[in-house]
Structure 1
């Protein structure tokens, strides 16, 4: 597994605490890059710019990615363009949200 693949897998373990779905399936992660020095750069967004849990989500991303062998530094950039919308979610996220609404 390449380091970028490992990062994507680790990010699938990070949930948006308000939605209860991982940030990859929600479509919040836009880009993952790793340089030759083990510096991981993640470009992502949040469902809303004024998300009260932004610091927690970024901290969880840094912890998850920082635990990967070979990753020495983690930079997370929050971006607002392109703007997130529910259309960015994959089918897995949609089904998970639907199943919670049925309960």
Structure 2
């Protein structure tokens, strides 16, 4: 089974944009918490993400929510969510939409 990676990537991004940081009114994709989305030809998805801080209250729940939501995307056969602290998240990683929403622009 070969998947259309471009279409699958778009669907994954849409799902990620439906997940919100519990402390901020912005989705985790626009917040810049998703560092990398790797999709194999067989639909295996590896997500590399971070959190706003190591002590983030959502440190336990957010990666599980990401995993569960990505599994809902048609064409995804497996998901692996990896948390990294390198590079450290900073405000400059937000999209313009997120920065405007949070009053940083």
TM-score interval, smaller chain: 0.7 to 0.9
List 4+ stretches of structure 1 deviating above 3 A.
none
**Structure 1 counterpart of 2:3:** none
Structure 1 residue 93, shift from structure 2 partner? 0.7
Q: Distance in 2 between matches of 1:13 and 1:86?
A: 20
Q: TM-score if structure 2 supplies the norm length? A: 0.86
The Cα of 1:97 is off from its aligned counterpart by 1.7
Q: What is the TM-score normalised by the length of structure 1?
A: 0.88
Query: Which of 61, 64, 78 is matched with 2:66 structurally?
Result: 61
Query: Per residue, is there more strand in 1 or in 2?
Result: 1
Unmatched 5+ stretches in structure 1: 99-103
Structure with more helix by fraction: 1
TM-fit CA distance, 1:20: 2.2
Cα distance in 2 between the residues matched to 1:11 and 1:75: 14
Q: Which of the numbers 74, 96, 102 marks the counterpart of 2:101?
A: 96
Number of the residue aligned with 1:101: none
Secondary structure, in 3 states, of the residue corresponding to 1:22? coil
Corresponding pairs, count: 98
1:1-103 paired onto structure 2 within 5 Å: 2-98=7-103
Deviation of 1:64 (Å): 1.3
